[in-house]
Structure 1
């Protein structure tokens, strides 16, 4: 702010006869010029950092969301990630709603929040799919496991989290229509198998005199 005030004062400084005191304040005040160059470098680095981001970079239609670390085995949580990976967001929420897994309730709320946040960004929630879903491993807390005859073992409490990326894609109905169209094309490519169907009536050749041809 001090540099900005000094620059404004230099531009506004005039002599009694009306001529400006500084012809070019940017060159006569090197500190101001250095400050502006530093601000430009910082802004360019910030833009480059935003473009290098894997998720949420400017121009990319996607939204990344993840759960917090909670007490569950990463292997158990990976089963849910494999179940919703590549599915439309509404279908994934429906799968978690009727899943018997204990962590399905938390994953369902995570998917619903991710869908709402993506809609707030301007994405169409009807065309969103769970493009990526992976598991992150947390700390393994060790606790004492008391046993009989004054013996003590170790009990491990694993922690994990799930991360998802929502991107626009094909809906469930579009995928089903594409499967049907692909099956139709496959049947058409088989052809008739050398069998030619005609409307000519079948006549017993022995009923006519002479040769059959």
Structure 2
């Protein structure tokens, strides 16, 4: 009899707590609206700092505290402050480099044998005359590098209007080189020949149709030649013949120790 009312009472308690929604019997969450007194930084410092936990004797703990000697504070109160480092005096850059490298040996000046005898030459220039510098430059390329007699012969039979003036220039330059510079006439060569522009001589108006007009400009130019001693025509011909003979390579009775030039394809052998 006693057990029945207890069962009914316990059943009544369960139903009264659960309710019609059949919610599980759990503890309701506590309110967290108030500020927490837990500080993670202080907890971390207490956890990692050496403590006297586990010391059986208080005297041992006091001895450990005495052994910890605080560091001497610096001038600034910053926790990241460090002692100033004394800078050592550095040697000059030139001294440090010379100490690392090998001792330099003074170089002797290179002796170049220069002959005191100047190379004789003669330069001659024409007077400015009306001609285009492009037309005159063609004559300069024609006589450059030629023997003086051959250049005079070319200008003598040239069909250009300026040919006669260039011929007179070469003739006078040859005479002055032989008389003044004491140069050998058969070996004279036109070593250089160039053309320079000169001032514009005149501008002339040219009438054109329908009320138009144009300007005709007369240009002027000069030619300069330099005569030097070189090889005669006979020497040049002999050197050319020697060069052509050296290029001849044939499979004769006596083989020549020279490489083949322009070999034929193998399938034609």
**Pairwise TM-score range, normalised by the shorter structure:** 0.5 to 0.7
Equivalent position to 2:211, from 142, 147, 150: 150
The residue number in structure 2 matching 1:186 is 247
> Structure 2 length as normaliser, TM-score?
0.48
Equivalent position to 2:190, from 101, 107, 130: 130
Give CA deviations for 1:126-183 in whole Å, capped at 9, x if unaligned: 1000000000011234221122333221111110000000000011221111100111
> Structure 1 length as normaliser, TM-score?
0.61
- State the shift of 1:96 in Å: 0.2
- Choose 87-96 or 169-178, whichever is displaced more: 169-178
The residue number in structure 1 matching 2:165 is 106
Helix, strand or coil at the partner of 2:146: coil
Equivalent position to 2:136, from 62, 70, 77: 77
The residue number in structure 2 matching 1:43 is none
Q: What is the aligned-residue RMSD (CA, Å)?
A: 1.6
CA distance in 2 between counterparts of 1:62 and 1:169 reads 11
Helix, strand or coil at the partner of 2:247: helix
Q: Does the alignment pair 1:162 with 2:185? A: no
Q: Does the alignment pair 1:92 with 2:158? A: no
CA distance in 1 between counterparts of 2:194 and 2:143 reads 10
Give CA deviations for 1:63-112 in whole Å, capped at 9, x if unaligned: 00010100000010011000000000000000000110000000000000
CA distance in 2 between counterparts of 1:151 and 1:168 reads 56
Structure 1 runs (4+) deviating above 6 angstroms are: none
CA distance in 2 between counterparts of 1:153 and 1:87 reads 42
Give unmatched runs, 5+ long, in structure 1.
Answer: 1-57, 198-213
The residue number in structure 1 matching 2:179 is 120
**Max Rg structure:** 2
